[in-house]
Chain A
């Protein structure tokens, strides 16, 4: 009985065959492939055809692993050994069926290879998307930058036009022009910020600043906005708020301005409230709570999560203009301070945006000393020599018109490093200030500044240099400082921002 079971279940897995030097099978036990006696082994499977040239090699053992063979409905994966002897003894062929073993290996290899290929493809897709994203961000940054020169022209000449004795109707038209260019400027700033955010290059610049002054400034803006829209404005600034704190004043102003502007934009009747209170001062950090409350149109519950997405406006009515970037940027900026913006809103009744931000607060914090920045403080009986390094005709004309209108400046305009050095080193005409465009067509303004700082004569290399540029991110400012640039005027600029900054450096 046992023998019968063994015969039924035990499967022979090795076949032995003797073949002659031409491949004819002389003898075989036929346990795997049969019948093959008298056949040429090359006719059993193409694999064996490749063995024919090896049959005449004497006294050699050839081992082949994992060979897939098929003959007369017998399909196996095997190891094959060809043993040759001397020229008088026929070669021996051993076929070892290892199908089960190799099938297991096949399953493992399948999983491993699929996983490797999948991760390689994923990596390629990610690289492609990253490249595409980088291209998009670079394009946005460059394009936004290119818009700043014409915008400087519009803003400057609007200011000049305003002082040219216009009638009421013309002044109304001019105001539309000015508010449109101001709106455009804000949009470009937002787009540029967003492009930096998306590549993780937007950082906070932490310096001491006057929080009271910043809040008073925002309050004044709110009062004007409320008056323009016929709304009531309430505010409550905690008396315990520290005056001088350490933080990024520019970005704080940006966040609060966005929240306040949003409140006014979506409120047509009722009020806007701006509250600022001190949570606590602990471990030299002041936690300050900001909230902006409006009685505007509110946000539907299902839309609350979407309002912080870029280019999203949950209310698509034309009357609410904007690119939908403000809240997205504000959210990112607040997150940089390791905090978040909270929204409470009831559709049709209004919204409350609030956040808690930590600032450095130590008694030793002091504001940096600054020269009075008013143009009225400069000497009235002196004429100043200004060198403008700029290749944009619009900006050249804008600076020229602004300075000419004051009657206190001589202006020279150049745009190559050779001309800059030649002008500055001319002892007959010493310059009081250099206004330096950074993105010149052929050169970079910070490189030219470095050349100036290396000049042999003290009075030449110490001349104040102010950069005119749209690129004012942290890494840009560091680069300018390293190049010896004293200060920066951000493009697009207007008459006031240009003259005030110049006044800081004119003796």
Chain B
């Protein structure tokens, strides 16, 4: 039976949500920043050998917004999993991280959320350690859409979690 799961990427603008999806779906990266308006939807099938299943991920790339409460509710209908992305180099993108996560958990109970610090190629490990209190404790993955670091792992892990 065909399994399909809707994943929604949330976060401020310019944090690299579209780049992460492009890296995962097409394995490409562009340095040029093109603003996402509305929503782009892409699809990729992921094979999960441990479960003997193929899962079709329908990935919703939402327009970035610094106020998560302003996200159009229709976009979130039927969501199976969230990926919240912030930019490790821009404090404004993670200063409300705790509140944003609480908002998602309150509105979408029992739906898995992965927290991702993107652009980790631009900072040192030492920097990430120093910011443990700021965002480290809440973050599941540090990724780089540019190098591909941890991108595949992020989506595959979420896919496994969604079919269990």
Chain A residues with CB under 8 Å of chain B are 45-47, 49-50, 53-54, 62-68, 77, 102, 105-106, 109-110, 113-114, 116-117, 120-121, 124
Contacts and interface: CB of A to CB of B under 8 A. Distances in A.
Given A47-B41, A62-B74, A120-B90, A110 B63 contact: no
Interface string B32-47: 0111011111110000
Contacts, number: 72
Nearest to A63: B74
A106 B37 contact: yes
16 contacts: A45-B41, A46-B58, A49-B4, A49-B43, A50-B6, A62-B74, A65-B72, A66-B38, A77-B37, A106-B35, A113-B13, A114-B33, A117-B33, A117-B90, A120-B92, A124-B89
Interface in B12-46: 13-14, 33-35, 37-43
B78 A64 contact: no
B14 A117 contact: yes
Contact of B58 (A49, A65, A116, A124): A49
Contacts of B91: 124
Nearest to B34: A110
B77 interface: yes
Contacts of B63: 66, 109
Contacts of B92: 120
B75 interface: yes
B38 A68 contact: yes
Contact of A65 (B14, B34, B74): B74
Among B14, B38, B75, B77, find the residue whose CB has the most chain A CB atoms closer than 10 A.
B38
Contacts of B42: 46
B64 interface: yes
A62 B37 CA distance: 19
Interface string B87-105: 0011110000000000000
B128 to A, nearest CB: 16
Nearest to B78: A53
Contacts of B72: 64-65
A50 B41 CA distance: 10
Contacts of A64: 39, 72, 74-75
A-B interface, 3 closest residue pairs, ranked by CB to CB distance from nearest: A66-B38, A46-B43, A47-B41
Main secondary structure of the interface of A (DSSP, over half): helix
A68 B74 contact: no
A120 B14 CA distance: 11
Interface residues of B, number: 28
A106 B33 CA distance: 12
Nearest to A117: B14
B41 A113 contact: no
Among A47, A50, A64, find the residue whose CB has the most chain B CB atoms closer than 10 A.
A50
A65 B63 CA distance: 11
B90 A67 contact: no
Contacts of A50: 6, 41, 58, 60, 77-78
A110 B32 CA distance: 11
A109 B37 contact: yes
A77 B60 CA distance: 15
B39 A102 contact: no
A57 to B, nearest CB: 10
A105 B3 CA distance: 36
A49 B42 CA distance: 11
Given A66-B38, A121-B90, A113 B14 contact: yes
Contacts of A46: 41-43, 58
Contact of B77 (A45, A62, A66, A105): A62
Contact of A67 (B13, B41, B56): B41
